[in-house]
A = this chain, B = another copy of it.
Amino acid sequence: MLGNFTYYNPCRLHFGPDAVSKLADELAEYGPTVVLVYGGGSIKRSGLYDQVTTMLRAAGKTVAEISGVMSNPTADKLREGAKVARDANADLLLAVGGGSVIDYAKAVAVSAWCDDDPWEKYFLRMEAPDNRLIPVGNILTMSGTGSEMNAGSVISNPQQKLKIGHVFGPELIPRFAIVNPELTFTVPDYQMRAGIFDAFNHIQEQYFSGDDDNTSDYVAEALMRSLVTSSLVAVADPADYEARSNISWVCTWALNTLLGKGKATDWEVHMIGQAIGAVTDAAHGMTLSAVAPAYYRHIMPYGLHKFVRFAVEVWDVRPEGKTDEQVACEGIEAMEAWMDRIGVVRRVSELGLTPDMYDDVVKGTFLLEGGYKKLTPDEVRAILVASA
Contact = CB atoms under 8 A, between A and B. Distances in A.
Interface of A: 1-19, 22, 181, 212, 214-215, 218-219, 221-223, 225-226, 230, 241-242, 245-246, 248-250, 253, 261-262
Given A215-B250, A221-B222, A246-B215, A12 B6 contact: yes
A219 B225 CA distance: 10
Contact of A4 (B12, B16, B250): B16
Contacts of A22: 6
A255 to B, nearest CB: 15
A16 B3 CA distance: 5
Nearest to A21: B4
Highest count of chain B CB atoms <10 Å: which of A4, A12, A212: A4
Contact of A249 (B2, B4, B6, B223): B2
A19 B1 contact: no
A18 B4 CA distance: 6
5 contacts: A1-B241, A2-B245, A9-B9, A245-B262, A249-B262
Nearest to A219: B222
Contacts of A250: 215
Contact of A226 (B1, B7, B218): B218
Nearest to A224: B218
Given A219-B226, A249-B261, 14 more contacts: A1-B241, A1-B245, A2-B245, A3-B16, A3-B17, A6-B15, A7-B13, A7-B15, A8-B10, A214-B245, A215-B246, A219-B222, A219-B253, A249-B262
Nearest to A214: B246
A8 B16 contact: no
A358 B221 CA distance: 43
Nearest to A170: B12
Contacts of A13: 6-8
A223 B246 CA distance: 18
B6 A14 contact: yes
A253 B261 CA distance: 13
A150 B162 CA distance: 43
Nearest to A256: B7
Given A1-B245, A241-B1, A215 B219 contact: no
Contact of A15 (B5, B16, B218, B226): B5
Contacts of A212: 242
B214 A219 contact: no
Contacts of A5: 14-16
Given A215-B223, A223-B218, A223-B219, A17 B4 contact: yes
Contacts of A261: 15, 249
A140 to B, nearest CB: 13
A59 to B, nearest CB: 19
A1 B218 contact: no
Q: State the 10 A-B residue pairs at the shortest beta-carbon distance, nearest first.
A: A4-B16, A222-B222, A218-B222, A10-B10, A2-B245, A8-B12, A218-B226, A1-B242, A215-B226, A7-B13
A5 B214 CA distance: 29
A15 B10 contact: no
